[in-house]
Amino acid sequence: MASVTIENVRKAFGETEVIHGVDIAIADGEFVVLVGPSGCGKSTLLRMIAGLESITAGEVKIAERVVNRLPAKARDIAMVFQNYALYPHMTVFENMAFSMRLRKAPAAEVESRVREAAGILGLQPLLQRFPRQLSGGQRQRVAMGRAIVRDPQVFLFDEPLSNLDAKLRVAMRTEIKALHQRVGGTTIYVTHDQIEAMTMADKIVVMQGGNVEQIGAPLELYDAPDNLFVAGFIGSPAMNFLRGRVEADGAGTVFASADGARLPLGERRGLEAGREVVLGFRPEHIALGPDGTGIGVEVVVTEPTGSEVQVVARHGGDEVVAVFRERHQPAPGTRLSLAPDPAQIHVFDAETGRTLRA
Amino acid sequence: MAETPLETARRAAAPDDAASAWTRLQSNRNWLGFWFMLPAAAFLILFLAYPLGLGVWLSFTDAKVGSEGEWIGLENYEWLLGVAPVSDFLGIIANELFGTEFELEGDTTFWLSVFNTLLYTVVASAIKFAIGLYLALLLNRHMPFKAIIRAVVLIPFIVPTVLSAIAFWWIFDTQFSILTWMLQGLGAIAEDHQINWLGDETMARASVIFANIWRGVPFIAITLLAGLQTVSASLYEAAVIDGATRWQMFRYITYPLLTPIIAVVMTFSVLFTFTDFQLIWVLTRGGPFNATHLMATLSYQRAILGGYLGEGAAISTAMIPFLLAAIMFSWFGLQRRKWQHGGRDD
């Protein structure tokens, strides 16, 4: 078990810098998910922690020890790869035993450790199989077994579920989380899937373009995103955004869109009249208001799922998605007035994208 | 009278003889496949099976140039192999390797050519494999001008054998050898010393083996390189994290994953080397004192130059067991790997 500290880490391939000074502190035993769109630098960062990529600048510490110059095998980490990277010519047992055999561990110890890991993952009946004879989910478990056998200080996962079908992905998600609770160990997990991040993480690191956008617990990011990017990336269906400006209205201020929507904003810093802002509100924080108030929209599609109804509508040029627990079923073309919960709206500076907090 | 519905149905069901061949071609996949296969089969029968059969048949006759010959059974083989082929075989090996002087029962030149062919094949193939594998590993790394370097490596393979053999003939020339000149320049040998590259028995053997290696390495290197590129980079990353050294990565990952390709490429290499003719014929014609005569060159000399077609054919036919043994070894020993076959071997 160990903490991991990433201090002002940069990575450049030749002239091109792809990670621009990242700071992340990971506590002992924490499950941290690095999430972001492809090309955001999350996998590169993970590979730098693993020792598969050199660190251009900054420091990576594992258990308070700077590992920048340590080879991968001396960092006491284990990694699970997206394509599993199982050795095709070795049986499941040999795959899991490989690292211990390289260290010339006694055969009895190898045997007991592999059997123990196989027991945790339910792999005992498959130990003599070759990777080709396994299903995707089984291969994934072998890859995890190989990591467990090493008993490392830090587990690294590089998009381990993206080669699996949707149903299996959900099952393995649960399995990995249960495994973490059972085995413990600091875990750093890379994914582009925000649902995986939300469901599995103790702490999420949202990255974009080689920068960290926000670090926090899943619900923290959900309820209080720091900026437009995080607000749009976390949550499905995504947060609605309307462009508009702040206008004075008696004592307070209101948000006014070009298409006639007006919403009171309450007390927020930096909300002088005339400022260009983006209003954000989540689909599930919308109620139907009296006609002629709030946000006037025209219904495009209504999608009932049974537990809820998702209504896709248009407000001028912007799309607005609303999710109702009630069984509203407005026909396409119907005009509705949407009233976002005032306590749950977010206001972002249109220019910088930063959140203007209440 | 108009046709009744029953008659119409019967007519439709009955085969139409006039169009049957064409219809059959359209409807029967196997029949169509047979016709597609026929040209290739005819080609193989005409140019491979027929000459092979003719060669084997000739080896049982006393055919000479200008005379068809008669069936003489195993007489050619008795003449070549002698009454005790095993002891002759061991005898020639002892004579050549340890300088003993066993009297052979069979044809001494034939047995010498068997020894030469085995020596040539074993030594050249082993060195070709070692250099080819080394080159492939080098070329598999990231380096500037990778494409050009890979193309350059292929040159010895592209140049026609006769052309490169003539170049080697000059390189190994007694008077004008560039190798001798270079060794003199480096001070490794005296200024007036000439090395008799192709005139001395041991030097001649080493020289032709060297030329064969030069020509054969690219084939092995490029084929193994293709094999190396099919090994996923993430396996090496996993191995790095598992704590493998570079040697352990080669020993436990690269080499086992490469064995199927090694089996194929080395089988081909052994077959080509065992049946080599052009290089030897241009460089030494089997000399000096038959020290570089291979079975192929001896067969040619006896059959075409000497006119004893039957005897030459018998020498050629005697190569077949060796070639079959090489193929069997690779097929059963190396090529089948359990991990390649998915669930079937479980």
CATH code at position A155: 3.40.50.300
* Domain B59-338, second-level architecture: Orthogonal Bundle (1.10)
pLDDT confidence bin for B217, thresholds 50/70/90: very high
Quick one: pLDDT at residue A269? 65
Residue A310 belongs to domain with CATH number = 2.40.50.140
Residue percentage of chain B with pLDDT more than 90: 39
Do A284 and A255 share a domain, yes or no?
Answer: yes
What span, in angstroms and rounded, lies between the C-alpha atoms of B213 and B206? 10
pLDDT at A114 over 70: yes
Is A68 in the same domain as A164? yes
Residue of B235, B240, B242, B261 to mutate for A, most A C-beta atoms under 10 A: B242
10 Å CB burial of residue A160 (0-12, 13-18, 19+) is: buried
Phi and psi, residue A288, nearest 5°: -85, 125
- The residue type of B36 is F
Lowest mean pLDDT among A107-116, B190-199, B330-339: B330-339
**Would you state the pLDDT for residue B46?**
93
Determine what percent of chain B is predicted with pLDDT higher than 70.
91
What is the sign of the dihedral through the CA atoms of B73, B78, B84 and B89?
Answer: negative
The confidence score (pLDDT) of residue B346 equals 34
Give chain A's mean pLDDT: 89
Q: Which residues of A touch B (CB under 8 A)?
A: 50-52, 71-73, 77-79, 81-83, 85-90, 98-99, 102-103, 129-133, 146, 150
Are β-strands A186-191 and A31-35 bridged in parallel, bridged antiparallel, or unpaired?
parallel
Distance CA(A188)–CA(A201), nearest Å, equals: 9
User: CB-based contact (8 Å) between B144 and chain A?
Assistant: no
Of A355, A25, A346, A57, the closest CA to residue A212 belongs to: A25
Residue A236: the pLDDT is 85
Each residue's pLDDT tens digit, B260-315: 888 889 999 999 999 999 889 988 888 788 899 999 999 999 999 988 999 999 99
Residue at which a domain ends, from A172, A200, A228? A228
Q: How many domains does chain A have?
A: 2
Examine the predicted complex and report whether its ipTM is higher than 0.85.
Answer: no
The mean pLDDT of B119-123, rounded to a whole number, is 94
Q: Are residues A105 and A185 in the same domain?
A: yes
Residue B218: what pLDDT?
Answer: 92
A87 and A58 in a common domain: yes
Q: Which of B33-47, B79-93, B312-326 has the lowest mean pLDDT?
A: B79-93
- Both A66 and A150 in one domain: the answer is yes
Cα A1 to chain centroid, rounded: 23
Q: What is the mean pLDDT of residues B198-208?
A: 89
Which of A228, A259, A283 lies at the terminal end of a domain, its last residue?
A228
* A-to-B residue pairs, Cβ atoms closer than 8 angstroms: 72
Query: In this model, does residue A255 exceed pLDDT 60?
Result: yes
Same domain for A258 and A198: no
pLDDT at B342 over 50: no
Which helix (DSSP H) or strand (DSSP E) does residue A189 occupy?
strand A186-191
| A304 and A284 both lie in a single domain | yes
Contact B235 A52 (CB under 8 A): no
Q: Could you say which of A228, A261, A291 is where a domain stops? A: A228
Which residue among A77, A85, A133 places its CB closest to the CB of B237?
A: A85
pLDDT digits 0-9 by tens, A296-348: 899 999 999 888 999 999 988 889 999 998 888 888 988 989 999 888 899 99
Least confident of B29-33, B43-47, B186-190: B186-190
Q: State residue B131's pLDDT score.
A: 95
Work out the minimum CA distance from B334 to partner chain A, whole angstroms: 14
Domain-located, residue A235: no
Question: Is A302 inside any structural domain?
Answer: yes
Range of the domain at A319: 240-349
In one letter, which amino acid is A216?
G
Q: Which residue has the tokens 């499905």?
A: A236
Q: Do A153 and A247 reside in the same domain of the chain? A: no
What residues in A contact B252, CB-CB < 8 Å?
Answer: 87, 98, 102
Which residues make Cβ contacts (< 8 Å) with residue B340, sequence separation at least 6? A132, B260
CA distance A231 to A221: 8
- Looking at beta carbons, which residues of chain B come within 8 Å of A103? 243
B337–A89: do the CB atoms touch at under 8 Å?
yes
Separation CA A247–CA A254 (nearest Å)? 5
∠ CA A275-A279-A282, rounded to 5°: 170
Q: What is the pLDDT of residue B2?
A: 62
Average per-residue pLDDT for chain B: 86
Determine contact, residues B288/B112, Cβ cutoff 8 Å: no
Whether B241 sits inside 8 A of A90 (CB atoms) is no
Query: In this predicted model, which residue has the larger pLDDT, A123 or B22?
Result: A123
B57 pLDDT band, cuts 50/70/90, is very high
In-domain check, residue A305: yes
How many whole angstroms separate alpha carbon B314 and alpha carbon B56? 7
pLDDT score for B16: 57
Clarify whether residues A171 and A309 are in a common domain: no
Report whether A98 contacts A85 (CB < 8 A): no
Helix, strand or coil, per DSSP, at residue A210: coil
Calculate helix-pair angle for A166-183, A107-121, nearest 10 degrees. Answer: 130
Mean pLDDT of A89-107: 92
Whether residue A216 is found in the same domain as residue A341: no
For the segment A212-233, the average pLDDT, to the nearest whole number, is 93
Query: Residue B317 has what pLDDT?
Result: 93
Query: Considering only alpha carbons, which residue of chain B is nearest residue A148?
Result: B242
Cβ–Cβ under 8 Å, residues A161 and A144: no
A65 and A214 share a domain?
yes
Residue A121 CA to residue A124 CA, distance in Å, equals 8
Q: Is the pLDDT of residue B113 over 90?
A: yes
Does position B18 have pLDDT exceeding 60, yes or no? no
Does A157 share its domain with A244?
no
Burial of B308 (0-12, 13-18, 19+ CB in 10 A): buried
pLDDT of B288 reads 87
Output the pLDDT for position B12.
Answer: 61
Q: Touching check for B342 and chain A: CB below 8 Å?
A: yes
Which alpha helices (H) appear in chain A, and where do they start and end?
42-50, 92-102, 107-121, 136-149, 166-183, 194-200, 218-223, 228-233
Q: Residue B345 above 50 pLDDT?
A: no
Question: Residue with structure tokens 């090529």?
Answer: B335
Using CB atoms within 10 Å of the CB of residue B40, give its burial: 0 to 12 exposed, 13 to 18 middle, 19+ buried.
Answer: exposed
Q: What would the mean pLDDT of A109-137 be, rounded to a whole number?
A: 90
Q: Rounded to an integer, what distance in angstroms lies between the CA atom of residue A193 and that of residue A157?
A: 13
